Amino acid sequence: MRWLSLMEKIRAPLMVFPAVALIVLLFFGGLVVGLGQSLGYFPAIDSFELTFRYYGEVLSDNTFFESLWQTFRLALLSTVMSSILAIAIALVLRNTFRGSRFFTFLFQLSIPIPHLVAAAGIVLLVSQSGIIARAAYAAGLIDAPRDFPVMVFDRAGTAIQLTYLWKEVPFIGIVVLAILQGIGPQYEEIARTLGANAWQRFRYVLLPLIMPGVLSTSIIVFAYVFASYEIPLLLGVRHPTTLPVLAFQSYQDPDLSLRPQAMAMSIILTLIAVVLLVAYKRLARYAVNT
């Protein structure tokens, strides 16, 4: 009986152990290999001596800091704008009106679509040969499609931002909408009877209730955008590019001697992302509490 009781207790951990072990092996195995290569241990080029030389080379290059700023700017803007738009749309969709279920369905439609497909759609829409430029030309708003503002491969990263917004706003918004529908209108009604106006009801009633959901999803968005390279690689300028793209290009270079620098950039990128995420979480909580 004691043996059966013990088996019942460890059955669930044993069932998930293979999957967890595989994830841990792949994640930490890759992290250890990358850390070793960033420190100079790379047998493929007969390098076995551990050194911080590659970190010094990366940190002494101005291109690294330009790429870091570009990465931080895109991640911060995407996260902040996605959060604001998601909250605004969720506040509208929580109300019952004619067609609300249909609009809620449309709002969620972009969630399962891959980012690469979203990037292709944005290019078709906002490039100088895209649908919007041709429509503006047909309407007589511009003299030629080439007069349409450059929104793809621009230094501001407009197409990159639009792609992330189209993908991440529903991701955050659907969580906020679920929270709003779960808490119901009773808290706002109580605040209204106490004389609170619309802004006060949002600031002191709704925002503290939805902030845990906004915080958790926005952290995921920030981490994803900060470490993503596909969209900036496809839609961004070549210089200054984002740090993940710079590391990816160095990693893909046929010259294997650049591999340790690529790994050093990746490790630095990981450390910066962790620090920024911790700081972002604390600042968001402080903003809500005050």
pLDDT tens digit sequence for 79-90 = 999 999 999 999
Residue 108 lies in a domain: yes
Please report where in the chains the tokens 């300028």 appear, as a residue: 237
If DSSP codes are grouped into helix, strand and coil, which group holds residue 131? helix
Distance CA 76, CA 125 (A): 24
Q: What is the pLDDT of residue 74?
A: 92
Residue 236 lies in a domain: yes
Nearest in space to 240 (alpha carbons), one of 29, 123, 69, 120: 69
Q: What is the pLDDT of residue 1?
A: 52
Residue 35 lies in a domain: no
Residue 21 lies in a domain: no
Residue 18 lies in a domain: no
CA neighbours within 13 Å on the CB side: how many for 107?
Answer: 25
Task: List, for residues 242-261, the tens digit of each pLDDT value.
Answer: 999 988 888 888 888 888 88
Residue 284 lies in a domain: yes
Q: Could you tell me the residue range of the domain that residue 123 belongs to?
A: 57-289
Residue 46 lies in a domain: no
Please report where in the chains the tokens 């490790």 appear, as a residue: 267
Nearest in space to 216 (alpha carbons), one of 159, 178, 181: 178
Q: How many domains does the chain have?
A: 1
Residues of the chain with pLDDT under 50: none
In the chain, the percentage of residues whose pLDDT exceeds 90 is 17
Q: What is the pLDDT of residue 5?
A: 64
Please report where in the chains the tokens 């955050």 appear, as a residue: 172
Provide the CATH number for the domain around residue 248: 1.10.3720.10
Distance CA 170, CA 260 (A): 38
Residue 84 lies in a domain: yes
